[in-house]
Structure formats: C-alpha cells, structure tokens
Amino acid sequence: MTLARRGLIASVLGLLGGCSPAALLNTTVSRSGYRLEADIPYGNLPRQKLDVYTPEQPRADAKSVIFFYGGSWDSGAKGDYLFVGQALAALGITTIIPDYRVYPEVRYPAFLDDGAAATAWAANKVGTEKLFVAGHSAGAYIAIMMVANTPYLAAAGVDRMKLPGGIGIAGPYDFLPLTSRRLQEIFGGPNRRETQPIEYARAPLPPLLLLHGTADTTVKPFNSERLAAAWRKAGARAELKLYPEVDHIDIVGSFSALLRKRAPTLDDTISFIDRM
C-alpha cells in the first residue's frame, strides 16, 4: 500500500472515531440503487426512530438486516451509517438502522428495550424468518442480547428462534469487571453478570457469525472467542472469523467501498446471510 493511500485511510478512520463518525466517508457513498426512508418512529420517544434502506433490486429471498451501530452506549446516530446501509442495499438487502436511547438519558437495560422494539418493528415489516440482527461494538452487544436466550424479544412479541441468525462485529460480550466509572453507571455496578451476553448463551440459540480484528484494543478479541465457544457448548452454530492486523474501526469502515480492502467484513456477512 502506498504512503498516500495509508494517509487517506488514516484520515478517514480518524473521522470514524471522532465526534462526527463517518462524515467524510459518507460523502463517497452512492445515493443510487436504493430508496432511503428516514426517521420512521418505532416508539414515541425522540431517539426511537429508524432509517430504512430499500434496494431498487431486492434479493429474491427478501433477506434483510437490522443493524445497530456502536458508540459505547452513550453516543451515535443512525445517519452516520449511510455507508453500511448503502453497502448492504446495493446487494439487494433491505437494511434497517435504528437510533436507540443512550447514557446519560438512560442506563441498562433501556437500550436493550429499544433494541427489541426496533427489531419487532423490522420483523413486522420484512418477516421474522428473513431478518438478520447485526451490530458493531456496543451495537453488537445489543444485537447479541436480542438473539441470545434473553426475554427482550419475547416481551416485544418476536420469536427469536425464528430469526435466521445474528451477526456480531467487534462486540463486547464478556467484559467484566468494569473499571470505568461511566460504564459502572451505565450498567449499575462493576460486576453484574446479568449484563453480559455470554451469560445467555443457553439453548436454544439461532446461528451466529462473530467477526473481530486481532489488532482491536478497544474491544479485545477474546470477547468473540469466548462467546463462540459458549454458543457451541450450548449446541448451537457459531462461526468465528478473526482478521489479522484489523482494528476496531477498520472492521466497520470496511463496509464502505473506499475502505473495502481493509477487512472482508461485508463479504463474510453476505456469505453468512446466503447460507442461512
């Protein structure tokens, strides 16, 4: 890779990790090939809204994805993930990206209640059997808590075992004890096991794809490794892919055409969807 290319990628990745994630990256995204319906309410509160990316040429099997973005449970905006919606919609996949309430407005488990409400909205729109639940970082935490053996989706009227699968990208699934005061406030203490997705890796479970970069120092790869092992121990299918020299931002930024060569995140996601 040339120095100029490395510099471009570093600049874009810096924006992805800054106060306005993906602002520059989204300027490179095509506005054709899909229809965007923005700010659709799935609840009555200001952050209970979602965006829907509908492909102009949808897949014959109508498989769809709801994608939860990251942001440490205290930040994020669905509009910043145009590059994810476009990448999937360009391949015929209807993609739903919700906002959800974050700290300090709420604490655990309110963002999971929002995740369940958004997933129920999506399941009603596209069909539970066609909906994959995916996410990156804190959004992967939400996605996995939806498909794990938790009560959230059932309370929202969705049978999680009818979902074709879950996709976790660089997610925290087994991250106690909490040393950050902010995270302790979000999760109600330093060592509450009931907040951990790995605690709910109990049969029955839908299939799972876990993607993680080995250079991720924000959310360590052992989170995905341990969850995959727990999923398999419960007798369920779990695919784990570790990407050498890929970090926490590379892995989601590579959904975009500009950074596609950084990691095979999109290819592996589509391959999983094709096989389920």
> Quick one: average pLDDT of 237-258?
96
Q: Is the pLDDT of residue 86 over 60?
A: yes
The domains located in the chain, with CATH, are 3-275 (3.40.50.1820)
Q: What is the pLDDT of residue 73?
A: 98
Residues 24-77: pLDDT tens digits? 788 888 888 999 999 999 999 999 999 999 999 999 999 999 999 999 999 999
Q: Is the pLDDT of residue 5 over 80?
A: no
Helix residue spans in the chain (DSSP H) = 3-16, 23-26, 82-89, 110-126, 138-147, 152-155, 181-187, 222-233, 250-253, 265-275
DSSP at 61? T
Q: Is the pLDDT of residue 107 over 50?
A: yes
Residues 168-218: pLDDT tens digits? 999 999 999 999 999 999 999 999 999 999 999 999 999 999 999 999 999
Q: What is the pLDDT of residue 27?
A: 84
Q: What is the pLDDT of residue 215?
A: 98
Q: What is the pLDDT of residue 7?
A: 41
Residue 1 CB contacts under 8 Å (≥ 6 apart), including other chains? none
Q: What are phi and psi of 253, to 5 degrees?
A: -60, -25
User: Taking the model in full, what pTM does it have?
Assistant: 0.93
Q: What is the pLDDT of residue 166?
A: 98
DSSP reduced 3-state for 240:
strand
Quick check: 143 and 65 in contact, CB under 8 A? no
Mean pLDDT of the chain: 93
